[in-house]
Amino acid sequence: MRVRAILVALLLAGDAAAEEAVLVAVASNFAHTATQLAARFEEQTGTAVRLSSGSTGKLYAQIVNGAPYDVFLAADAARPAILEHSGRVVPGSRRTYAIGRLVIYSIRADDCLAALRDPHGGHIAIANPVTAPYGAAARQYLERAGLWDGVSARAVYGENIAQTLQFASTGNAVVALVARSQLHTRFVPESRCSLEIPAAMHDPVEQQVVLLDADNPPAGAFVEFLRSATARRIIEQAGYEVAR
């Protein structure tokens, strides 16, 4: 009898926990930081956060096709805006949670700018400007700096910002234009040169969040948590900027 009571209690508890969990779709570039944020949120509230990471485009397609995510942490502002216009998000929930900065990174060159300018300097890796927000920002910077014509002939395009860094960290590309936050992660080989690109040289890479499920209060609490001082500090320490 007592065993049955315990089993019933466990079942109910498990059920309640599943209902209260927050399911978050997160852009791959932010997945590591999101794990830290989720851990802190769980500490504070006792609510479990489950993360699914992928490219913003793929997660967007999943959401449009009915994926059961409560929160979407995108790598850009475009996809959250489309979701908002099509009425798939909780009105008023779309906000910038992190702003990305671009850096030039190389394990082969001593002078990052010289390597960008050298017409015989080998491949330059940037994220695909058509599909990846950091790629679009990289192209914008190169155009404003008058370097695009020289670079585009030697450019190789990463499918996403992670692959772009990998092209350079394996030495296959001489330099890569990547996100500053990536250089804060483990396993990135020591750079021989790295150079931060001034924020004024490209439109800000705004990463936006939207709340997808209005009926799950902990999900709203998680989105709200992202604005807290604690969350902002975690995001800044990961190499992003946060909106003032």
In the complex with another protein, which residue's Cβ is closer, 59 or 205?
59
- Asked whether position 171 contacts another protein by CB under 8 A, the answer is yes
Identify the residue among 89, 98, 112, 125 touching another protein (CB under 8 A): 125
Which residue has 């059961």 as its token pair? 68
- Asked whether position 55 contacts another protein by CB under 8 A, the answer is yes
In the complex with another protein, which residue's Cβ is closer, 59 or 90?
59
Q: Which residues pair with residue 73 across a beta bridge? A: 26, 209
Distance separating alpha carbons of residues 20 and 47, to the nearest angstrom? 6
Q: At its nearest, how many Å lie between another protein and the CB of residue 158?
A: 8
- Asked whether position 61 contacts another protein by CB under 8 A, the answer is yes
- Asked whether position 172 contacts another protein by CB under 8 A, the answer is yes
Q: At its nearest, how many Å lie between another protein and the CB of residue 170?
A: 6
- Asked whether position 227 contacts another protein by CB under 8 A, the answer is no
Which residue has 């913003």 as its token pair? 56
Specify the 3-state DSSP secondary structure of 179: strand
- Window of 39-47, 140-148, 153-161, 193-201 that interacts with another protein by CB under 8 A: 153-161
Q: Cβ atoms within 10 A of the Cβ of 224, count? A: 12
In the complex with another protein, which residue's Cβ is closer, 152 or 228?
152
Identify the residue among 32, 88, 117, 123 touching another protein (CB under 8 A): 123
Work out the angle at residue 92's Cα, subtended by the Cα atoms of residues 88 and 94, and round it to the nearest 5 degrees. 70
Residue 191 burial (10 A CB sphere; 0-12, 13-18, 19+): buried
Contact 108, 160 (CB under 8 A): no
Give 218-243 as a DSSP string.
Answer: HHHHHHHHTTSHHHHHHHHHTT-B--
In the complex with another protein, which residue's Cβ is closer, 155 or 219?
155
In the complex with another protein, which residue's Cβ is closer, 33 or 166?
166
Specify the 3-state DSSP secondary structure of 60: helix
Binding site for another protein (CB under 8 A): 55, 57-58, 61, 122-123, 125, 128, 130-131, 155-159, 163, 167, 170-173
